[in-house]
A and B are shown apart, each in its own frame.
Chain A
Amino acid sequence: MSIWEYANPVKFIRTTDKVLPYISVGAAVALVGGLIWGFFFTPDDFRQGSTVKIIYIHVPAALMAINAWFMMLVASLIWLIRRHHVSALAAKAAAPVGVTMTLIALFTGALWGQPMWGTWWAWDPRLTSFLILFLFYLGYMALWAAIEDSDAAADLTSVLCIVGSVFAVLSRYAVNFWNQGLHQGASLSLDKETNVDDVFYQPLLLSIAGFVLLFLALVLLRTRTEIRARRIKALLARERIFD
């Protein structure tokens, strides 16, 4: 069996009919579990106080904001190379989820930054590249909405997605590239010395798993909606021709 079988819309809908309930339940359990564990059952940080509890939302949301764009990039490349409609529609479906994650990361970052840095916002490399990524998300969705022909829209948004990937990479590695600004380096590391303490790490991992599963569930759900919307459009167009 080849992965390209799932590029068939009927096969995609049939398969996701079966897996979507499990992914949704998994997302709900991991997300609620991670947030309750983090919020109610972890101590304050000795320096940041109770604001450390924002980590259970801010880090997973920021992670998904960047990874959503990479998922869109892969789907866009598949569209450009193999012309599978489902992949273009999956990229389109992921954008509203990605922009919501970006917005959450920006909001929670500003709220966290105010008491810790003394400012809501700074033109720091990571913050600035994240803001530009947010604008790319808006531009990507606007471009899909602005073009009537769905294949042309898929082509142009795929190109925009490739260009925007530069800022997705910068959002992740800006701290390493410039080594300046207010934002700290990665919270998660394989190096025990630089990684967050286990007491924060374990609920954070569960929360990240929740955000990943939620993203997956929403993208599958929204891709199914896009497939159906495309079918509706095609049927209505056919009716107009024969009427």
Chain B
Amino acid sequence: MPDLGKYAETVLSSYAISLVLLAGLVCLSIWQGAKARRQLTQIEERRKSDG
């Protein structure tokens, strides 16, 4: 860990906030993508079975 001196709090909170926001966005995007894919598959299978 580098010595951040008197600005340690500033630098670390910048990184923490940014990484949390980026990780949140990535997780949300993957979750929404998987959900849409699952729903579409279900509907298409139901339509196939209904003829």
* B1-43 contact mask (Cβ, 8 Å, vs A): 1 or 0: 1111111101101110110011001101110110011011001
Label chain A's interface by main secondary structure: helix
Total number of residue pairs linking A and B with CB closer than 8 Å? 91
- Picked from A57, A218, A224, the residue with its CB within 8 Å of the CB of B18 is A57
- Please, how many residues of chain A have a CB less than 8 angstroms from a CB on the other chain? 36
**Which one, A53, A57, A97, A228, contacts B25 given CB within 8 A?**
A97
- Count residues on chain B whose CB falls below 8 Å from chain A CBs: 31
CB-defined contacts of A61 to chain B, threshold 8 Å: 18
Chain B residue numbers with a CB within 8 Å of A232 are: 36, 39-40, 43
Which one of A73-81, A106-114, A142-150, A173-181 is at the B interface? A106-114
- A196 proximal to B (CB < 8 A): no
B positions within 8 Å CB-CB of A? 1-8, 10-11, 13-15, 17-18, 21-22, 25-26, 28-30, 32-33, 36-37, 39-40, 43-44, 47
The 26 listed contacts between A and B (C-beta, < 8 Å) are A35-B15, A39-B2, A44-B5, A50-B4, A50-B5, A53-B4, A53-B15, A54-B11, A57-B14, A96-B28, A96-B29, A100-B21, A100-B25, A104-B18, A104-B21, A107-B14, A107-B17, A107-B21, A108-B14, A115-B10, A221-B29, A221-B30, A225-B36, A228-B33, A228-B37, A235-B43
